[in-house]
Amino acid sequence: MLAHSVELQITENEYLDAEQDAQVRHELIDGSVYAMTGASDKHNKVAGNMFAELRNDLKFKSAPCTAYINDMKVKAQNNFYYPDVMVVCDNNDKESEFYKTKPTIVIEVLSPSTRRIDKTIKRLAYQSLSTLQEYVLIEQDKAEIEVFTRSSGWQAEYYYLGDSITFVSIGVTVQVEDIYYQVNNDDVLAYRASS
């Protein structure tokens, strides 16, 4: 999502209670509440495409994995975030019906206003979760995907149009061009023109 604005300091329970009735979603970071703003057309398409690709492939897997988009929170350390997409494969992740604590994959779609937080604060918080195997950052304004994996010591691998990404933890392979379906950024338009 786009930029956040600090509102006030509250406890975890106050945050969870207020968030159930809130008309605007908020993240809780170090006791401060940040309002989430709306997403762009490209952001929505990229997140929706990624969710659809994962969900469609997971239907045919025997593992009990579930894909979530936008509105399911994840608790990392003492913070609560709304990842754009995540996959949870642990049937014991039932602490709350409003958030998850054991994601296998977390995916964030980058925007100019969230890039720094997604690449630093959120990345470190998510990687502290013992169940997390892959953290994915997807650019919306160009065709570039950065994948950090636990198995590589959280080293980044980059993917571009024409590549496929295999999410080893869930046994799913996704084509980069499918993630950018109907997204009109310069890279996608140039790729289509040359194909």
CA dihedral 70, 74, 79, 82 (to 10 degrees): 0
Whole-structure pTM value: 0.91
Over range 112-118, report the average pLDDT: 88
Q: Tokens 């492939």 sit at which residue? A: 57
Residue 95 reports pLDDT greater than 70 = no
pLDDT category at 7 given cuts 50, 70, 90 is low
| C-alpha radius of gyration, the chain, whole number | 16
Number of domains in the chain: 1
Question: What is the per-residue pLDDT for 55?
Answer: 94
- CATH number for the domain harbouring residue 129: 3.90.1570.10
pLDDT category at 11 given cuts 50, 70, 90 is confident
Interatomic CA distance for residues 109 and 11, integer angstroms: 28
Q: Structural domain of residue 126, as residue ranges?
A: 39-194
Chain segment 70-83, per-residue pLDDT in tens: 889 999 988 999 99
| Backbone φ and ψ of 35, nearest 5° | -75, 140
